Structure 1
Amino acid sequence: MLVESAPGSALGHDIAVGQSVPPHTAHAISVSLPKWSDNVGYEEGEKRVVDAMVNGYPRFFIHLSIRKLAKICEKKHAAPGEQAMLFPTQRLADHCRSFIERRSQLLNDPVAARLIHLLVSPETSLTNGPASISPPNSSAKRAVNLHIVLFPESAVPIAKEFWQHSGTGISSRLADYCLSILPEDVLKPSPPTSPTVVRFPGKSQNRHYATKSIGKVPSPTQPQFPPIAPPKQTPEQDTFDADLDVYVEERYGRNLPLAAASSAKRAMRRRISGVLIRDNPSDCHGVPCAGIQDVEVGPSTRGVSNVSEDDVFLYPTGMSAIWSAHQLALAALPPAKSVCFGFPYTDTLKILQKWGPGCHFFGHGTDSDLDALERMLEQESQLSPNKPPILALFTEFPSNPLLRSANLPRLRALADKYDFLIIIDETIGNFVNVEVLPYADIAVCSLSKVFSGASNVMGGNLVLNPSGRHYEELKAAQVSTFEDFYFDEDAVFMERNSRDFKRRIKVIDTNAEAVCDLLRSSSAAANAPSAVIKEVFYPKYITPEHYEHCRIKGEGTQQPGGFGGLFALTFTSSVASEVFFDNLSCYKGPSLGTNFTLACPFTILAHYAELEWAAQYGVEAGLVRVSVGLEDTASLLQTFKIALEAAEEAVRATT
């Protein structure tokens, strides 16, 4: 079967270590780590790798634009040795401060952090470039509230934990926007100053920013972040280039105008809630948009017919949606420990362990774990019969990276019996393939993955199930606390990317199934002679009965769901793992759900400091995770055959 190739397909091409994936993408969310040794070097802080990196996955690698903006904030407002972390709202900055102070106390090295509110605001709506070259119809500049957390050097690892786990820091596009409207004297390198309250006048034609400091100044320490080199271009040229990029996206109908960001967000909420009758062009500022008021909508196709766009909430990252779901549960219901069921993506477990009363971990996510969970619930309910034994159970469907699917009907029955929430991360299965919302009180998803596909913007969402027994409490708490801190420009890019996500998912499903069938036929799991692959982890083969129960059957006008685009491989030896990976001719780096095939040595990247612990749950050090893209099926199959043959030859040479 021939399917379209992804633009910029990497099959057969190498990208230098540290370069953005996709190439030449300022806000790419993956980075090239093409060899096994590059991934190990990254984890060990090897200078060769670290110095080459121009970007990385945004929750793990702070984008250079964000670092530059943070350095400016430090120079103007930090005491000697203080460092800065930037957030879009005061509430999030306060969460960060509280986390730093609480965690440092637990580590017996208490520190104080403080907040500064910075208003970055142009004085007029003029663009910064000369009027004669300002892009037509470019959006007027608008003010941005920036909230800075300042903390001593000793707290840097803790602050980075918050940035990584919560996913709530500012985006690189927001940082670029702030840099584009700061006055020239602020952009120039200058020695650090004491953190007094200062107003900086902007350029006479259009800029200023003001500050307000909150909290005490900690004792001085030495700063950690390396200095960021000043731009080679002038600020005016930087701003003009950025404005031109926006103009090109809007002029050729790819993006909505930034002024229509609210329509872009509404369009995405309608796609996610499944209420759109047809997601095809309707006129919105002269470009296609499913977010205009009178677009045709109907009952949800998500398995719960009364879900509406008002039950969908957008976040700047998938992890911020998970973190917010946990915060929501803690706010709406009496506090108790949560359960993490199945081996999850690393930060989900960290969130449940580091916020609230704690977490019970059932790391295999198998039916035997379900039996153990039921016994634990019964014991806890007997000890405290007047309150639910747990607050919420978090699970992925299927899990990342082992692609195991939990028995959702049985989990739902336990939740109803013992009165706790079910929170399901549907990122890997995605709601085109599986129907999990009927079993969930809250469903969360990383929109950064296949919903976007382009690997150039982050996003996440949270969906409340209106048929859930705690819907009223959850909805009331969510409405009272929700802040829309998804930066408008990020939302506009995400809306554009997601217009064809249903079509892309079907192509990716077909490609992934073909590749997995090929690899499994050559694996030990299929009794292949002299196999170097032990197992292919893919929903078609792993806990298939649980996945099939939720797989969309394709009744009426719906197409049947597939098995998704993600799979993982384990090998008979470390030699086989490394040689297979090094000879796999595709993009190599973190993330998944991309329009192009993307591979990584998952355990090395996600659990390098805890390899033995991860191995207890079947997540072996040599595991390779692959996210399949839109490339030609025959080319993909040939690519994987070549890598497999190289691994087989390497193993033969060592025996």
Structure 2
Amino acid sequence: MTVKANDEQAWGKPMPAANLHAISVSIPTWHDATVIWHGESGICHKFPVGYPRFMLHFRVQQLANECLKQLDLDPHVYGCLPLCSSGLVEQCRAFLDRQWRLQQKKGAVLVDTRNAICTFGQYTVHAIIYPAEDASLAKGFWSKVGCGVSSRFADCCLRAAGIDAYDLPPNGPVDAAALSPASTLPGHYLPAEQAMEAKQLIRRRLVDILHDTYPADAGDHTIEYTRAHPSAQALTIDSVYLYNYGMSAIYAMNRLLYRASPKGRAVCLGFPFTSTLKSLEQLWDHCLFLGYGTEEDIDRLETELADPTRPTIHSLFCEFPTNPLLKAPNIRRLRALADQYDIPLWIDTTAGGFSNCLLLPYVDAMVISLTKLFSGGCDVTGGCLIVNTARSHGRRMQHALSVDGGDGLPAYEDNLWCEDAVVLEHNCRTYVERAARINRTTEAIADYLCTHPKVASLHYPKYTDRALYDAHKSVDGGYGGLLSIVLHTPEAAQAFIDAIPCAKGPTFGTNFTLVCPYTVITHYFEADWAAQYNVPLQLIRIGIGLEDVEQVRGWLDTAFAATPDPPSCAHTTV
């Protein structure tokens, strides 16, 4: 399969091109990535689209402005976050109040939140209103909790109210004519009225894919877990809860465990995606971060658990493998500790592709960002939480989510917008075939990179903690579609990023190869801290798409040709 390179994508253009609901944005050079975080001339606000939790889509911003108009509030004095339920407004209020308490020592002013209901045709928007000077706190809820409305929801609301014109940022990289209208769904999607059917199909596919990670019971007693195991038998669509983002699934799990034990501690083992760690740290009063995820870190965890003078641990979280280092923690050892001390163990399996490993029997719950490879289309967001009711904590989680979350009401609220569900259902129909193809291509690319002299280190499960990863790799599984390389110097990484002629921007798991200077984008202002955990400035994350191996290798060769020769030091895999 030959895919045209996206080098024609200029800075700030949506990816996929011309898609009103694109969830990535072209950041073609190293300088462009640093400009975003330096905030030169309010440059972020000129992006019409971007990764939805990090940048307000222009239609969402337009909806927020219309809410302020309905409420007769001055947009220079007040800000607005449009949400889709009163429950989310209460969660946002609690989040903002907690942030004020955390910042009170620094002289922060209490956020004056009010909620209001606005109507747009047949649609209702629950707005959280805050003083404009507290915008960064309010948008922290949007980015770290992931409960904001989608661009499709905003577009439907605005169109229902007759507001069809696009209010794009002035002097930005995109004009209205460059974005395709999206008032109706293409004919090969389920109609929006069938959203509930779409959600059921998504849940059924997730269950079927997870069932397939279990080996068939062929009488081989050396196989630890088969499809006859209670965790496989207990897995049904009632075990699956859908969310509008992977991060909102993570926040929901955090909130569930925190509400059950607010005085306890959470543990994060290994270096995770930046928003995940911040979500843990901002909700729990005490979060133990064991950022290397090594056996030594698990030794430290064991010491903490055995010390009765330390606050009790009530949540044990890790990624498998981690993003961006693709490390595999020792899940069997974590499971043993979780059993010994009666702690919920939950994991995020997004980075490696959840179908590649058999992990459900070991955990109480699993979270997955469906935005990534499950969708692949880069035009819709989604997430899920899957509980393992074969374990006691999993059963308690299901009860809290479906029956009583502590206040007599179910903790789960379905906020996945109908059109997003329909698009996600369409995109995920080909997940199994795409995942297999991308596994093969990525492994071939990793084999090429592992001895490349301009690569200082390669992070990929086949070469990173392979024994720990292989212990859970399913019969038909691979090593996933994500890898990271560390070049010898930041200057080399800059030359590489500037020269590689493929799509460059945030997210991964897309049907097209997507490269980003990961540390620059996610840890720019804490680069020294990230480097302590082997995430240096010159780390480049590469999400492989559906292109042929030859095409991807050609792009890499072009980038390496522009990269200066390294100093005389050894190449390593980790």
TM-score using structure 2 length: 0.89
Root-mean-square deviation (Å): 2.8
Instruction: Choose 425-434 or 402-411, whichever is displaced more.
Output: 425-434
Work out the CA distance in 1 between the residues paired with 2:229 and 2:83. 35
State how 1:24-63 maps to structure 2 within 5 Å.
24-47=18-41, 49-50=43-44, 53-63=47-57
Is residue 463 of structure 2 the alignment partner of residue 537 of structure 1? no
Work out the CA distance in 2 between the residues paired with 1:162 and 1:233. 29
Counterpart residue identity of residue 572, structure 1:
H
Deviation, structure 1 residue 649: 5.0
**Could you tell me which of 194, 199, 205 is aligned with 1:260?**
194
> Where does residue 509 of structure 2 map in the other structure?
593
Deviation, structure 1 residue 182: 1.0
The 8 Å contact of residues 272 and 319 in structure 2, kept in 1 or not, is answered as yes
3-state SS in 2 of match to 1:481: coil
Deviation, structure 1 residue 50: 3.5
3-state SS in 2 of match to 1:157: helix
- Structure 2 vs 1, CA of residues 157 and 432 (structure 1 numbering), >3 Å: closer, same or farther? same
Counterpart residue identity of residue 619, structure 1:
V
Work out the CA distance in 1 between the residues paired with 2:493 and 2:117. 49
* CA deviations over 1:413-462 (Å, ceiling 9, x no partner): 00000111111001012222111111111100000000000100000000
Deviation, structure 1 residue 401: 0.4
- Structure 2 vs 1, CA of residues 270 and 339 (structure 1 numbering), >3 Å: closer, same or farther? same
Is residue 386 of structure 2 the alignment partner of residue 463 of structure 1? yes
Work out the CA distance in 2 between the residues paired with 1:272 and 1:30. 24
For structure 2, the 5+ residue unaligned runs are: 213-226, 403-409, 569-574
- Structure 2 vs 1, CA of residues 328 and 12 (structure 1 numbering), >3 Å: closer, same or farther? closer
> Where does residue 397 of structure 2 map in the other structure?
474
The 8 Å contact of residues 12 and 586 in structure 1, kept in 2 or not, is answered as yes
Work out the CA distance in 2 between the residues paired with 1:181 and 1:228. 28
- Structure 2 vs 1, CA of residues 450 and 300 (structure 1 numbering), >3 Å: closer, same or farther? farther
Deviation, structure 1 residue 107: 2.0
- Structure 2 vs 1, CA of residues 591 and 77 (structure 1 numbering), >3 Å: closer, same or farther? same
- Structure 2 vs 1, CA of residues 470 and 60 (structure 1 numbering), >3 Å: closer, same or farther? same
Counterpart residue identity of residue 454, structure 1:
G
- State which structure, 1 or 2, has the greater radius of gyration over its C-alpha atoms: 1
> Where does residue 449 of structure 2 map in the other structure?
519
> Where does residue 152 of structure 2 map in the other structure?
173
Deviation, structure 1 residue 650: 8.4
* CA deviations over 1:309-357 (Å, ceiling 9, x no partner): 0000000000000000111222345641100110010111111111133
> Where does residue 536 of structure 2 map in the other structure?
620
> Where does residue 139 of structure 1 map in the other structure?
none
Work out the CA distance in 2 between the residues paired with 1:335 and 1:632. 52
The 8 Å contact of residues 516 and 538 in structure 1, kept in 2 or not, is answered as yes
Work out the CA distance in 2 between the residues paired with 1:313 and 1:348. 19
Aligned length: 540
Instruction: Choose 66-75 or 308-317, whichever is displaced more.
Output: 66-75
- Structure 2 vs 1, CA of residues 348 and 156 (structure 1 numbering), >3 Å: closer, same or farther? same
The 8 Å contact of residues 21 and 379 in structure 2, kept in 1 or not, is answered as yes
> Where does residue 62 of structure 2 map in the other structure?
68
**Could you tell me which of 124, 130, 152 is aligned with 1:151?**
130
- Identical amino acids, percent of aligned pairs: 36
Work out the CA distance in 2 between the residues paired with 1:504 and 1:22. 18
> Where does residue 404 of structure 1 map in the other structure?
327
> Where does residue 290 of structure 1 map in the other structure?
none
Work out the CA distance in 2 between the residues paired with 1:459 and 1:92. 17
* CA deviations over 1:207-230 (Å, ceiling 9, x no partner): xxxxxxxxxxxxxxxxxx98999x
Work out the CA distance in 2 between the residues paired with 1:117 and 1:374. 49
Work out the CA distance in 1 between the residues paired with 2:348 and 2:426. 23
> Where does residue 222 of structure 2 map in the other structure?
none
State how 1:374-523 maps to structure 2 within 5 Å.
374-379=302-307, 382-383=308-309, 389-479=312-402, 480-522=410-452
- Structure 2 vs 1, CA of residues 576 and 258 (structure 1 numbering), >3 Å: closer, same or farther? same
Work out the CA distance in 1 between the residues paired with 2:73 and 2:21. 31
> Where does residue 406 of structure 2 map in the other structure?
none
3-state SS in 2 of match to 1:163: helix
> Where does residue 366 of structure 1 map in the other structure?
294
TM-score using structure 1 length: 0.78
3-state SS in 2 of match to 1:629: coil
3-state SS in 1 of match to 2:563: helix
Counterpart residue identity of residue 311, structure 1:
S
Counterpart residue identity of residue 502, structure 1:
V
Instruction: Choose 35-44 or 300-309, whichever is displaced more.
Output: 300-309
- Structure 2 vs 1, CA of residues 437 and 570 (structure 1 numbering), >3 Å: closer, same or farther? same
Q: 4+ residue runs of structure 1 moved beyond 4 angstroms?
A: 186-189, 225-229, 231-234, 275-278, 299-303, 332-335, 649-652
3-state SS in 2 of match to 1:274: helix
**Could you tell me which of 481, 493, 498 is aligned with 1:577?**
493
Counterpart residue identity of residue 339, structure 1:
V
Is residue 276 of structure 2 the alignment partner of residue 348 of structure 1? yes
